[in-house]
Chains A and B, each alone.
Chain A
Amino acid sequence: DVKVTQSSRYLVKRTGEKVFLECVQDMDHENMFWYRQDPGLGLRLIYFSYDVKMKEKGDIPEGYSVSREKKERFSLILESASTNQTSMYLCASSLLREGPYNEQFFGPGTRLTVL
């Protein structure tokens, strides 16, 4: 089974802090994704990566950056956390660079609260 793990289930930070969220997948997947989930808005893509050191902006990249130094690990960075970044953050991975069978597998999520 694919396993996607995230470094924390719950996180509380203060406004202005630098925040790191880490995600690790153990199935040699090519693609990794960061989403945020807010009630009534579904999941919105922040960034994704299709290879080591490669990244692309998603729909809501402002205020976030990412890092992928190793294939199995994808980090989301909030350079200066703000209260409007309080949300559930979900990491996902998918096997292939492209193709229809590109199902995404999700981690358990990190609920981030910024005070």
Chain B
Amino acid sequence: ELKVEQNPLFLSMQEGKNYTIYCNYSTTSDRLYWYRQDPGKSLESLFVLLSNGAVKQEGRLMASLDTKARLSTLHITAAVHDLSATYFCAVGQGAQKLVFGQGTRLTINP
């Protein structure tokens, strides 16, 4: 059974600092996604990672994938308040399904 664990679950940080969210998963998969959710809103896709060593970057966010370690990271560089949200990783299971992590609630304080 595929299990996906994120840590930390809550993260409060100051603007300008760097931090990393970790996503571990228990069985082999061919795809991993990162999503963002703002309060009261739905999930918005951020990144799709498909191969070992894949790295994707968008603004201050960078995601990477190590399939051998079954680990993905979402790195935040020089955080700004607008990045405050809940971030989910999701790992592919079978052809269609995704298994989601618990989510990391990120709060960035001025």
Q: In chain A, residues 82-115, which have Cβ atoms closer than 8 Å to a Cβ of chain B?
A: 90, 92, 94, 97-109
The CA-CA distance from A110 to B103 in the complex, in Å, is 19
Which residues does chain A contribute within 8 Å of B41, judged by CB atoms? 108-109
Q: Which residue of A lies closest to B96 (CB)?
A: A31
> Which listed residue (A43, A44, A101) contacts B88, Cβ 8 A?
A43
Instruction: Please name all residues of chain B whose beta carbon is closer than 8 Å to the beta carbon of A109 when the two chains form the complex.
Output: 41-42
Q: State how many residues of chain A have any CB contact under 8 Å with chain B.
A: 27
B103 partner, pick from A31, A42, A99, A103, beta carbons under 8 A: A42
Q: What are the residues of chain A within 8 A of B42 when measuring CB–CB?
A: 90, 106-109
User: Is there contact, CB below 8 Å, between B92 and A106?
Assistant: no
The answer to whether A97 touches B100, judged by C-beta atoms less than 8 angstroms apart, is no
Contact, CB under 8 Å: B102 / A104: no
Total A-B pairs, Cβ < 8 A: 60
Give A104 to B46 CA distance when docked, in angstroms: 11
- Looking at A94, A99, A104, the one whose CB has the most chain B CB atoms below 10 A away is A104
Residue from B4, B9, B31, B101 in contact with A102 in the complex, judged by beta carbons closer than 8 Å = B31
* A45 in contact with B96 (CB, 8 Å): no
| Chain B residues positioned under 8 Å from A42 (CB to CB) | 4, 88, 100-103
Q: B residues within 8 Å of A by Cβ?
A: 4, 9, 30-31, 33, 35, 41-45, 48, 50, 88, 90, 92, 95-103
Q: Point out residues on A near B: beta carbons under 8 Å.
A: 31, 35, 40-45, 48, 50, 58, 90, 92, 94, 97-109
A-B contact pairs, 8 of them (CB 8 A): A40-B9, A43-B88, A45-B99, A103-B48, A105-B45, A106-B42, A108-B41, A109-B42
12 additional A-B pairs beyond A42-B100, A106-B43, A108-B41, beta carbons within 8 Å, are A35-B100, A42-B88, A43-B43, A43-B100, A90-B42, A92-B43, A97-B95, A98-B96, A99-B95, A100-B50, A101-B48, A104-B45
